[in-house]
Amino acid sequence: MTRLTKRTVEALKSNRERDTFLWDSELRGFGVRVKPSGTKTFIIQYRNQEARTRRCVIGQYGVLTVEQARDLAQKKLAAVIDGADPSAERHSVRTGLTIAAVCDWYLAEAESGRLIGRNRRPIKASSVAGDRSRIELHIKPLIGNRVVSQLKLADIERLQGDIAAGRTARARRTSRGGQTAGGSGVAARAISTLRALLNHARRLGIIEVSPATGVRIMASQKVKRYLSAGEIRHLGKVMTQMEREGEHPAGLAAIRVMLLTGFRRTEVLAMRKAWVQPDDNLVRFPDTKSGPQIRVAGDSAMHVLEAQALSSHSPFIFPADWGDGHFVGVVRVLGRVCARAGLDKVTPHTLRHSFASMAAAQGFSELTISGLLGHAPRGVTQRYVHLDTALIIAADQVAAEIARLLDGGELRSVREIKQARTLAALRAVA
């Protein structure tokens, strides 16, 4: 053994049959290895906590000087005394799970129903579809090949910034679909998906630590668009005109029901006749975004639903034009109506916001509005049946005002609304 220097390393010759080693006389465990090809690399040799001999490459001679390699070797050998295993750590980096592999595991488990979501139920298929889109469009292209164990919190937040800046954005490739956008909202949803799937993997022992723990999600700048009283009145006028001109009746009826109830688009379109109880002003949804719910609807909404139910023999309130499914073209109908009316940025969710805005304008509390919209945990009517009457009165009052506007009437004064509410409450008690 001799002290490794530039001269001794350069003088070391290769053997065509096997590797050649030269160990340093001063730093025990530090040496240089010469491959039959002539490549010289610095290594360390040590015993781990299991008393097994391990070797770990530090770097190639020429890239590192002898003194640089000696300093690195000294640090790694000192870490071994504290229980570290540099060889195992290096091996885990090479063979460790990548982000792409964990994403694939998550999608397979979630789609099979084996992963339980926040509501203690299997993750919904629609949620998994959204997660798959964010994984394939944003997460995998940017960090899919990164090893999970080597990622830091800063890498996750840098990923969020890259998505927000449009690094994964792509232009529309066809006339419909094919567009991938950036922005803070897209970035926030992508990072939320990544954080959730990594937490599932950590909880089930697939990975040891989630690098997304503690990540700060960007605040999305959502603008809650809702229709004013004048816009609702104008929308109703245009809908009446277009109905006479032959616009799709189911689409127009669905738009009216969404405005009159505040129900979600999918809740309205997939509604079955068997779920509707006109006498009780209730709709029993076996499944919603928040699970099974009983939701209330005012008389104005129930009249539309009853009329629509009688228009066909389908089990759906809004049947498809062809086949046995339900109607799905309400977005296109709404787009045509709003284009004629000159109303911008109106979506089915805008109609839901408009219902909530009208309820707030009439002085109903946040708890009542949450119950009407199905936001309350497990649904207000799910746990407290005696509150149904109060919610029905609220739903009826809000729907009546919206129906009045759609039919070209004027919005009643707050005093008139309160008087009507009091009268309705007295009738309910009687």
Which range, of 192-201, 392-401, 409-418, averages the lowest pLDDT? Answer: 409-418
Please name every residue paired with 216 in a beta bridge, in sequence order, or none if there are none.
none
Is residue 121 situated within a structural domain? yes
Is residue 216 situated within a structural domain? no
- Give all strands of the β-sheet with 53-60 in edge-to-edge order: 20-23, 30-34, 40-47, 53-60
Is residue 275 situated within a structural domain? yes
Position with higher pLDDT, 319 vs 376: 319
Domain with 195, as residue range(s), is: 99-204
Closest CA to 78 of 4, 28, 139, 18: 28
Residues 37 and 167 in one domain: no
Is residue 214 situated within a structural domain? no
Closest CA to 404 of 225, 229, 241: 229
Is residue 43 situated within a structural domain? yes
Q: Is 305:276 a contact under the CB 8 Å cutoff?
A: yes
Residues 160 and 254 in one domain: no
Confidence of residue 272 (pLDDT cuts 50, 70, 90): very high
Is residue 286 situated within a structural domain? yes
Q: What is the pTM of this model?
A: 0.62
Which range, of 36-45, 178-187, 226-235, averages the lowest pLDDT? Answer: 178-187
Tokens 């899919």 locate to: 144
- Determine the pLDDT at residue 382: 45
Residues 87 and 119 in one domain: no
Average confidence (pLDDT) over 35-62: 91
In 245-364, which ranges are continuous DSSP H helix?
A: 249-261, 265-269, 299-309, 330-341, 348-361
CATH code: domain of residue 417: 1.10.443.10
Residues 318 and 409 in one domain: yes
Residues 235 and 345 in one domain: yes
- Determine the pLDDT at residue 290: 73
Residues 179 and 294 in one domain: no
Confidence of residue 422 (pLDDT cuts 50, 70, 90): low
CA distances for 274 relative to 286, 291, 298, 306, 367, angstroms = 11, 18, 18, 12, 28
pLDDT > 90 fraction of the chain, expressed in percent and rounded: 62
Residues 165 and 74 in one domain: no
Residues 78 and 103 in one domain: no
Residues 79 and 112 in one domain: no
Average confidence (pLDDT) over 271-275: 96
Residues 105 and 90 in one domain: no
- Determine the pLDDT at residue 120: 80
All residues at 6 or more sequence positions from 3 whose CB lies less than 8 Å from its CB, including other chains:
24, 25, 26
pLDDT at residue 379 tops 60: no
Position with higher pLDDT, 391 vs 426: 391
Is residue 218 situated within a structural domain? no
| pLDDT tens profile 330-345 | 999 999 999 999 999 9
Last residue in a domain, options 69, 95, 121: 95
Contacts of 134-137 spanning 24+ positions with Cβ under 8 A: 134/189, 134/190, 134/193, 135/103, 135/107, 135/193, 135/197, 137/168, 137/180
All residues at 6 or more sequence positions from 342 whose CB lies less than 8 Å from its CB, including other chains:
none
CATH code: domain of residue 60: 3.30.160.390
All residues at 6 or more sequence positions from 392 whose CB lies less than 8 Å from its CB, including other chains:
281, 296, 298, 428
Is residue 174 situated within a structural domain? yes
| pLDDT tens profile 115-164 | 988 778 888 888 899 999 999 999 999 999 999 988 999 999 999 999 99
Domains in the chain: how many in total?
3
Residues 159 and 239 in one domain: no
Residues 255 and 295 in one domain: yes
Last residue in a domain, options 79, 95, 111: 95
